Amino acid sequence: MNSEKVDTALAILEKQLNQPLAAALEVCARCGICAEACHYYVAEPTPEHIPAARAEELRKVYRAEHDFLSRIFPAWTGAERLTEEKLAQFAQIAFDKCTLCYRCTANCPMGVDTPLLMSTLRAMATATGNAPEILEMLADAAIEKGRDPEIYLEFFKDSILDMEQELQALTGDPEARIPLQKKGAKMLYVALAGAHTILPAAAIFETAGEDWTLSIYEAANYGIFLGDASRAKEIARRIVDEARELGVEEIVISECGHAYYAMRWLAPNWFGEEFTFRVRSIVEVLADYIQQGKLQLDPSANPEPITYHDSCNLGRKGGVLAEPRIILNAATTQFMEMTPNREEAYCCGGGAGLVALPEAAELRMLGGKPKADQVRASGARVVAAACENCRLQLGDLSCHYGLGVGVVALADLVVRAMRLPGAKESIEERMTAEAVAAKGN
Amino acid sequence: MERILFLQILAGAAFVFSLLAFAGRLRAFNRLARPADRAVPKGSPRAGLIYAYTLGMAPWAKESTRLHTIAYLRGVAFHLGIFLGLGILLASPWLGQLPPAWRSLLAIGAGLGALLGLAGFAARLLERNLKALSTPDDYAAVLAVSLFLAGASLWLFVPAALPFFYLASAAMLVYAPFSKIRHCIYYAYSRMFFGKFVGIRAVLPHSQQGLR
């Protein structure tokens, strides 16, 4: 007799059991060739960190439910019935020990989609109250905000007015504005919380003569970290509805890996339709501006040796691989690649919500070790990353492993290279500030 | 002669059983939903699919297979050996008419497959990661297939070994749909989902081929 929690978790498994999931559950030959693809394994080469071993935890339960031989001789196939203890263990495996980076899948001869299995584990853990509380709170807060945006809209408008003054000082243009809820604008820009993803973008859009408006919502979508498609859809719905109401041609997502991945690649499936508007990352927009000559950049404004960290959600899972290089080659003088890079890049270890979990801080530093080693080996003094979570993690890694590197966003580098009259802060000051901020975390 | 006929029928029945059991599995699999990808493609899903089934399987295409080239090629050769073994089984009533040189060639192929399978079995016993990942079924599956290939090879060299070949074949074929051997029918699907994923997003082969 199963407990209610176990029944709920098994019902989630059955509900999510489609062809891609069934294939991922059935096809693994347990060859273990995926081991070195995982940053956890590279940092600590023990069998528990092999992606196939993590996935095996779900397979054991699946076999116990679905496999003839496993029902008769469970020990023969390693099948195990789901228990409440196992559910708690699932949560730890899926939330703390996997960042859904897809590197194991890309390295698997079978193409086993282990992140899909880990997302299923996350969904099972979430449905049974085993998910990290902070992720649940952040997801629910975002949904609540969408239900009644008026509550905070006035405050948001006030903060935008303050930011406009900063923008005017930065651009030297007293007419520079941050348009909000502008009907008929071509582009809806969805930023993250805080001015740091709004101001640089606003300065660039103003200079490029873009017809844009700022979203009243934040891009982050904690629903996907929970493996909870219904919550993720609710969070995305706020932005989709806003885009429809304003009649924009495209949604542009701030430098945020998971937000881009969610809105660009997952949301159309949640809504069951092709959107009438385009979804792009600001990284793609910046690369377009550069290629179209809309921005005049002086790369000598960024003279330090700089390397680029490919966010898994933007790169290997999102296809934004060439664009960051276009930006870096135009905005800096000493861009150097880490090895490996692009679709083979290591995860920084902070993805899939891990950076938000204080209880996983130690594991996060462990998982980030391969990336830290890569950064050190590159010889760069600055690491650019187009994802907020990656930047936070890279800052922490710099402190933890004594890398002494600064961490910047691509838009920051572009703004520096635009040589705006108000851009007085030097890159060294910014690096110091980022490093101090990271230490504070 | 009667004994051979009986074993031939047994192996044939096992083959039909295996086919039906796999067909049943595929039927159940195809009843599951296949979610449509409604995101506007950035790259070419077709290019991704072609890559997944061709160059994406090359030993140099992935970091993992570059790191473990020998183990990977061993696995590939073992699986090619299985196809050869199945061919030998199906053609076994007529293979006696083949010239000895051809029989020897087939025997060497199947024998190599068997040896490589046994090497995999040994690796599972000895290598830490493989050992940790393996279930009794993994050992049994590799052993069953290796014995099947060994039987094929042995029979082609020593005709008196035909009963062993048919028995090993029947045992392997009956066990296959219930064991880890069944991963073979999901392979094409898994690679298809992977190919579509990386193709639609313009990750592979676009990045490697400098298409973007």
Helix (H) or strand (E) holding A439: helix A427-440
Select the more confidently predicted residue: B209 or B155. B155
Helix (H) or strand (E) holding B152: helix B136-157
b/e map of A1-22 (b: 16 or more CB within 10 Å)?
A: eeeebbebbbebbeebbebbbb
Encoded tokens for A414: 């572009």
What is the structure's pLDDT at A103? 98
Q: Which residues of B touch A287 (CB under 8 A)?
A: none
CA distance A361 to chain B (A): 26
What is the structure's pLDDT at A312? 98
CA distance A285 to B49: 28
CA distance A102 to A91: 19
Q: Confirm if A337 and A308 have CB atoms less than 8 A apart.
A: yes
Q: Is pLDDT above 90 for B74?
A: yes
Chain A nearest-CA residue for B73: A109
For A260, how many CA atoms within 13 A lie in the half-sphere containing its CB?
27
Q: Is pLDDT above 80 for A438?
A: no
Of B32, B133, B195, the CB nearest to A30: B133
What is the structure's pLDDT at B212? 46
CA distance B65 to chain A (A): 7
Q: Is pLDDT above 90 for A255?
A: yes
Closest C-alpha among B201, B178, B127, B187 to residue A279: B201
Average pLDDT over residues B58-77: 97
pLDDT digits (tens, 9 = 90+) for B92-112: 999 989 999 999 999 999 999
The owner of tokens 């919500």 is A353
Q: Is A134 helix (H, G, I), strand (E, B) or coil?
A: helix
- Does B52 reach chain A within 8 Å, measured CB to CB? yes
Q: Which residues of A touch B180 (CB under 8 A)?
A: 29-30, 77
Average pLDDT over residues B189-208: 92
Q: Is pLDDT above 90 for A1?
A: no
Q: In what order do the strands lie in the sheet with A212-214?
A: A212-214, A187-190, A250-253, A278-281
b/e map of A360-389 (b: 16 or more CB within 10 Å)?
A: beebbbbbbbbbbbbbbebebbbbbbbbbb
DSSP result, A205-255: HHHHT--EEE-SS----HHHHTT-HHHHHHHHHHHHHHHHHHT-SEEEE-S
Task: Name the band, by pLDDT with cuts 50, 70 and 90, for residue A429.
Answer: low
Does ipTM exceed 0.90?
yes
Task: Name the band, by pLDDT with cuts 50, 70 and 90, for residue B210.
Answer: low
Task: Name the band, by pLDDT with cuts 50, 70 and 90, for residue A427.
Answer: very low
What is the structure's pLDDT at A100? 98
Task: Name the band, by pLDDT with cuts 50, 70 and 90, for residue A118.
Answer: very high
Average pLDDT over residues B152-166: 97
What is the structure's pLDDT at A422? 81
Average pLDDT over residues B16-42: 97
What is the structure's pLDDT at A439? 47
CA distance A192 to B41: 25
What is the structure's pLDDT at B149? 98
pLDDT digits (tens, 9 = 90+) for A154-213: 999 999 999 999 999 999 999 999 999 999 999 999 999 999 999 999 999 999 999 999
What is the structure's pLDDT at B209? 62
Q: Do B186 and A269 touch (CB under 8 A)?
A: no
pLDDT digits (tens, 9 = 90+) for A342-384: 999 999 999 999 999 999 999 999 999 999 999 999 999 999 9
Q: Is pLDDT above 60 for A425?
A: no
Q: Which residues of B touch A249 (CB under 8 A)?
A: none
Of B64, B137, B190, the CB nearest to A37: B64
Cβ neighbours of residue B133 under 8 Å, at least 6 residues apart? A30, A32, A47, A50, A52, A53, A56
pLDDT digits (tens, 9 = 90+) for A15-49: 999 999 999 999 999 999 999 999 999 999 999 99
What is the structure's pLDDT at A441? 42
Q: In what order do the strands lie in the sheet with A305-309?
A: A334-336, A305-309, A382-385, A406-408
Chain A nearest-CA residue for B120: A31
Partners of residue B7 on adjacent β-strands: none
Closest C-alpha among A418, A416, A438, A434 to residue A426: A416
Could you give the angle at the alpha carbon of A426 between the alpha carbons of A424 and A432, nearest 5°? 130
Task: Name the band, by pLDDT with cuts 50, 70 and 90, for residue B205.
Answer: confident
Q: Which residues of B touch A66 (CB under 8 A)?
A: none
What is the structure's pLDDT at B206? 77
CA distance A406 to A375: 11
CA distance A396 to chain B (A): 27
CA distance B108 to chain A (A): 25
| pTM, 2 dp | 0.94
Q: How many helices (H) and strands (E) does chain A have?
A: 23, 8
pLDDT digits (tens, 9 = 90+) for A298-346: 999 999 999 999 999 999 999 999 999 999 999 999 999 999 999 999 9
Q: Which residues of B touch A75 (CB under 8 A)?
A: 136
Encoded tokens for A269: 């499936």
Chain A nearest-CA residue for B178: A69
- Does B142 reach chain A within 8 Å, measured CB to CB? no
Q: Do A47 and B129 touch (CB under 8 A)?
A: yes
Range with lowest mean pLDDT among A138-142, A432-436, B9-13, B149-153? A432-436
CA distance A249 to A279: 9
